[in-house]
Amino acid sequence: MVRSSRTVKALMNHITRIGLAALMICIGLNRADAQSVGSTYTSTAPKNCRQISKPSELDGSTTRACSGKDGLLVLIAEDDLREIVSVGRNRKEAAAEPAAKVWFPPFNSSETTVEWRAVGGKPFAIIQRWHIADSTDPDKQGRPTTKAMLVVTRLPPGPVCHVAYVDAVANPTANELARKAADDFARGFTCGKDEVKVVGARGRAVELATMR
């Protein structure tokens, strides 16, 4: 069968459009893969960190710096059985961040696993589990039991501060809620202006952490 030049040209244009569409789909998939959000983990266990100050005999206060992701370090400072966790390029920067000035009123401690949320290899938030002491709920020895919650903290560029709290007991899917909060809020959160969000159901840990 003999095709007219017009028909052949139209067919070629159609094939070209299909090829371009397929190419754009591949490019879009590659970009999506490159920009996918994921988690990696580091440890703040004392054996994995550099001790900045030795425990004080008076109050047990101590400070340590722990390696993080993408050149960041995690600063853990404990004083009077309460901790702060901050992040920076170095100890001085981390100590000057808003996160380094947040103290929960009850006795508390953070777990040593730090979850880093990142896109394209660049971390934008960390998630850590904290234990908040509840003096109204003593154990058999009369010591306060602890209630768990997850803290989402935004990372540079910009200030480092708490973004969201997720009660780990009141929410069976607390980890998923914390990751979603990090992904949805951390990058657009303005420290000092935006209020820390309580995500999911409120529980005793969040009540203890936010009481003033």
What's the CA gap between 141 and 97, in Å, rounded? 38
Does 5 fall in a domain? no
Q: Which residues contact 45 (CB under 8 A, 6 or more apart)?
A: 112
Decide if 142 is inside a domain.
yes
> Which residue shows structure tokens 């949320």?
117
Please state which of the ranges 2-6, 102-106, 185-189 shows the lowest mean pLDDT: 2-6
Of the candidates 113, 116, 194, the one whose C-alpha atom is nearest the C-alpha of residue 156 is 116
Is residue 202 one of the residues assigned to a domain?
yes
Q: Is residue 176 a part of any domain in this protein?
A: yes
Instruction: Give the list of residues 6+ apart from residue 64 with CB closer than 8 angstroms, or none.
Output: 44, 46, 49, 50, 51, 52, 75, 76
Count structural domains, the chain: 1
Q: From CA 2, how far away is CA 175, in angstroms rounded?
A: 66
Q: Look at residue 4 in the predicted model and tell me its pLDDT.
A: 55
Nearest to 197 by CA among 180, 212, 176: 180
- Residue 146: both structure tokens together: 């602890």
Please determine, for residue 29, whether its predicted confidence score (pLDDT) is greater than 50: no
Range of 200's domain? 35-210
% of residues, the chain, pLDDT over 70: 81
What are the tens digits of pLDDT across the range 148-180? 999 999 999 999 999 999 999 999 999 999 999
Measure the CA–CA gap between 188 and 139, rounded to whole angstroms.
41
